[in-house]
Amino acid sequence: MLSQLNQFYLEQSEPNRNYFLALREFINNYDEQISEEWKYKLPFFTTKTSPSVIFGKFKKQDNPILELLEQTK
């Protein structure tokens, strides 16, 4: 059975799937302290020292979005 993270990427239509997969690869390879998690039914990329990044898409237009979330102290 596929993880929810992998299922998210595979369910995306093209060209969004390629967009998300390229960003996923870039973020995961950027720093080994980055971890990918499944939160709120979306992929999250987090570290202890930097803001979180979340992937998603606008439902009506089916456009992908990438949002940078500030961490609270």
How many domains are there within the chain?
A: 1
pLDDT for the residue numbered 48: 74
pLDDT for the residue numbered 7: 92
For 17-71, how does the pLDDT look when each residue is reduced to its tens digit (9 = 90+)? Answer: 898 899 889 888 988 888 888 888 888 888 877 667 766 665 666 666 666 666 5
What's the pLDDT at 58?
57
Give me the long-range contacts of 32-41 (CB less than 8 A, separation at least 24).
Answer: 36/5, 38/3, 38/4, 38/5, 38/8, 41/4
Q: Where are the beta strands (DSSP E) in 1-73?
A: 35-39, 42-46, 52-57, 64-69
* Containing structural domain, residue 64: 4-69
Query: What pLDDT score was predicted for residue 30?
Result: 85
